[in-house]
Amino acid sequence: MKMKRKDIRNIAIIAHVDHGKTTLVDQLLKQSGVFRVNQEVQERVMDSNDIERERGITILSKNTAVFYKDTKINIIDTPGHADFGGEVERVLKMVNGVVLVVDAYEGPMPQTKFVLQKALELDLPVIVCVNKIDRPEARPGEVIDETLELMMDLDASDKQLDCPFIFASARAGFAKKELDDPEVDMSPLFEAIVNSIPAPEGDPEAPVQVLISTIDYNEFIGRIGIGKIDNGGLRVNQECVLVNHHDPDKFKKIKIGKLYEFDGLKRVEVQEASIGAIVAISGIADIHIGDTICSAEKPEAIPFQKISEPTIAMYFMVNDSPLAGQEGRFITSRHLRDRLFRELNTDVSLRVEETDSADCFKVSGRGELHLSVLIENMRREGFEFAVSKAEVLYRYDERNRKLEPMELAYVDVPEEYTGVVIQKLTSRKGSLQGMSQAAGGYSRLEFSIPSRGLIGYRGDFLTDTKGNGILNTIFDGYAEYKGDLFYRQTGSLIAFEAGEAITYGLFNAQERGALFIGPGTRVYAGMVVGQSPKAEDIEINVCKTKKLTNTRSSSADEALKLTPPRIMSLEQCLDFIDTDELLEVTPESLRIRKKILDPTLRKRASFKK
């Protein structure tokens, strides 16, 4: 006998990156009384790890819960970046509806389309929240029309199209039903959630069924499975079994160790929970995303869509440069292996494979950002290692044709830069699909381009558009191989000997190209110290000192003027390195180097090519 749990609502907040999901969740937490009146609260309190806070992006979906009157609202904040799309697809299985946040100026963007499509496919009702209506250039009326057009394009049902629209400013902390309503608080949004998102339903008397949609990991407790109870109830010490829809052979007896529900930002231990509740379960060592916890009498797995396959791979290897082991705490292949396999506990879109060499691992993910976040996390934890250039993962069809991953790239740029962007992207095998006017004197270009054509492009893009362009990409399936690509038109400046870079040597070297290092930097033979404007690599001696003679001249001894070096971020280094180079990553330094350090062996290898 199915019944509804009237006192619970389960929602996910979905949106394009930067449209204000996390700030909105902050306000819902504040206004539902989760924090004490005088409590100091960080902004974007849901973005809990350092990288999320620094970059202002959400990487992992987060669970929280607030109370409005006598209804508990479980909220899941999801990432907006395409690289973390695997997170969004899964958490939507836990909820009964979504709040789609759309920027009142930008309107629906590529990622809005991606996350909305996932929600509509699962037949979830939608509340559209037009956020940032206090922006001076906001255009809420047009944004509503664009959103409805997008929903029609995505074949939304009549019921889904008849959705409530709420106007809000998450930063100022108000929401309203009509544009001319007074700006008070968030209650219109709370009311819309309670009234138009259906309560979860299930059969409380049936055997238990819980689909695990997210995995959390804690050093002390181990793996924690998070999911919604679809049928029956769960209690501590209950004997259950684990089954999986995509793995019919899986059948494992387990016992529920500890059971938690969410309250604000805390997990609260409970003894039992029933249908509709989102729970966290610890004490099961071998629990994975997509597993169903059910009773032994009636083991029935809940269907679950397969997690999207990775499209890009990098090799992570033990650092073997002459400066290896001097800055990191974890440097051996065992450290590296344990850490990479540990990442699989929480990141489902990642793959780690061992290679012929014990010191090298192939790591595949959803995109450059996905892998660069892992690299940044590892270097902060004290790891030292080297990575190769990102390469795409090819497939072959039944006629043995080579297929490669494709992306749709949406580019918003001021009109004067459209020429250079079109020229660069077409040279990278992109084809222009459409061009339209966007708001504020910007043009919107839409390209279909191979994923490898975008590797290393973001740096060029920012330079070409003087930082004014916005580039969004979304995975668009596999298509036939588009032909060979040259990643970099310029060569590298390579250090000729080991030592410390000296002003005199750098002064002579800077005429040959742009330098990445300043005086006092330690270098070794084969290390890349700059970019050459020509296509070939040039070896230079940056440790060269001035020969001392007995003659003095007043002009020659005046101070040598050095151009400031180009300091590159992790992303810029990953973009810059070529296929015959590696990036040496330590907690303190990022060094680009040639794979083969010895110049003679390097020349031989290039001739063989």
| Binding-site residue ranges for GTP | 18-23, 131-134
Biggest alpha carbon–alpha carbon distance for the chain? 102
- Taken in order 265, 267, 272, 274, the sign of the CA dihedral is positive
Specify the DSSP element, H or E, that contains 539. Answer: strand 538-540
- Taken in order 481, 430, 363, 288, the sign of the CA dihedral is negative
For 59, how many CA atoms within 13 A lie in the half-sphere containing its CB?
A: 23
Residues pairing with 368 in the sheet: none
Q: What region, left, alpha or beta, does residue 441 occupy, with left being phi > 0 and alpha being psi -120 to 50 degrees? A: left
Contact 584/319 with Cβ under 8 angstroms?
A: yes
Specify the DSSP element, H or E, that contains 505. Answer: helix 503-509
User: What whole-number distance in Å separates Cα of residue 189 and Cα of residue 177?
Assistant: 8
- Taken in order 549, 551, 556, 560, the sign of the CA dihedral is positive
The CA radius of gyration of the chain, in Å to the nearest whole number, is: 27
Which tokens in the block code for residue 107?
Answer: 């309107």
User: What whole-number distance in Å separates Cα of residue 457 and Cα of residue 471?
Assistant: 10
Report which residue type is found at 80: G
Contact 418/438 with Cβ under 8 angstroms?
A: no
Contact 378/342 with Cβ under 8 angstroms?
A: no
Contact 74/11 with Cβ under 8 angstroms?
A: yes
User: What whole-number distance in Å separates Cα of residue 453 and Cα of residue 426?
Assistant: 9
Q: What region, left, alpha or beta, does residue 20 occupy, with left being phi > 0 and alpha being psi -120 to 50 degrees? A: left
The neighbour count for residue 400, using CB atoms within 10 Å, is 6
User: What whole-number distance in Å separates Cα of residue 113 and Cα of residue 131?
Assistant: 17
* DSSP codes joined into one string, 221-286: TEEEEEEEEEESEEETT-EEEEEETTEEEEEEEEE--EEEEEEBTEEEEESEEETT-EEEEES-TT
User: What whole-number distance in Å separates Cα of residue 327 and Cα of residue 379?
Assistant: 10
314 phi and psi, to 5 degrees?
Answer: -140, 155
The neighbour count for residue 580, using CB atoms within 10 Å, is 16
Centroid of chain to Cα 223:
22
User: What whole-number distance in Å separates Cα of residue 52 and Cα of residue 278?
Assistant: 24
User: What whole-number distance in Å separates Cα of residue 531 and Cα of residue 548?
Assistant: 30
**Nearest to residue 349, comparing CAs of 59, 100, 121?**
59
User: What whole-number distance in Å separates Cα of residue 458 and Cα of residue 572?
Assistant: 8
**Binding site, annotated residues:** 18-23, 131-134
Residues written for the chain: 609
